[in-house]
Amino acid sequence: MAPTYFDPLATDPGQARDVARWRRAERTRLSGLRDGLGQTGRALVSDQIGAHLGAVLAERGAGRGAGRQPVLSGYWPIKGEPDLRPILAALHRSGVTIALPVVETRAAPLVFRRWTPETKMVRGDWNIPVPPPDFDVLTPDISLAPCLGWTDDCFRLGWGGGYFDRTLAILAPRPLTIGIALAMAHLPTIYPQPHDIPLDLILTEDGVAATRTDR
């Protein structure tokens, strides 16, 4: 589809179906690109992104031990997503409070439970490991979002559940949002729909790839 075909404010059912079909095809293609890296390639990319993330957070005072440390929500990697657990563990040791997103109710906003490297995880939705239900629920100051695809205007293509968008729509104040992506997963557009919420930064193995300037 040509970008000019799509009106982000439109409600035409045919247009919405076309966009949904295109997104499904792109998810399959982008997931294949990620799988093509292999275990060694994915580990290298994860290390590179982790180093860039540490630098970005240090610029904002995270982990420096002075003043209030932020609450950072990470994610538990699935389906070949960059594995940032080592940098999350290092940030925890430096005083940053880490949380992980949890689906407590289907088709509802996420909640964020405190996590440490010693946390004994339990199985959540889709068998994703999550902190136990009795752990503290936190509100993140900074939130990481794994991306299948990304655009120069910081829109994110995820797996299609809509959980991150629902969550951002209700969080106040809104956290700094950092999309975690592969450089080769860049897209000209995701044909954004009214419910799609852009992120603040996109971070790839090459560093900061896109920054939203209108926030």
The rounded percent of the chain whose pLDDT value lies above 90 is 82
The answer to whether the CB of 99 falls within 8 A of the CB of 163 is no
pLDDT band for position 54 (cuts 50, 70, 90): very high
Task: Please tell me what DSSP assigns to residue 119.
Answer: -
> For position 69, what pLDDT does the model report?
87
**Residue 25 pLDDT more than 60?**
yes
What mean pLDDT do residues 141-146 have? 97
Cβ count within 10 A of residue 192: 18
The answer to whether the CB of 85 falls within 8 A of the CB of 47 is no
Mean pLDDT score across all residues of the chain: 91
Q: How far apart are the first and last CA of the chain?
A: 28
> 56-86: per-residue pLDDT in tens?
999 987 766 656 789 999 999 999 999 999 9
pLDDT band for position 6 (cuts 50, 70, 90): very low
Task: Please tell me what DSSP assigns to residue 3.
Answer: G
> 84-129: per-residue pLDDT in tens?
999 999 999 999 999 999 999 988 999 999 999 999 999 998 899 9
The answer to whether the CB of 115 falls within 8 A of the CB of 139 is no
**Residue 22 pLDDT more than 90?**
yes
The answer to whether the CB of 183 falls within 8 A of the CB of 209 is yes
Q: What is the pTM of this model?
A: 0.91
What order of strands is seen across the sheet that includes strand 111-115? 137-138, 111-115, 97-102, 71-73, 142-146, 176-180, 201-204, 207-211
> 167-210: per-residue pLDDT in tens?
999 999 999 999 999 999 999 999 999 889 999 999 999 999 99
Better-predicted residue by pLDDT, 9 or 22: 22
CA 57 to CA 97: how far, in whole Å?
Answer: 13
CA 211 to CA 114: how far, in whole Å?
Answer: 28
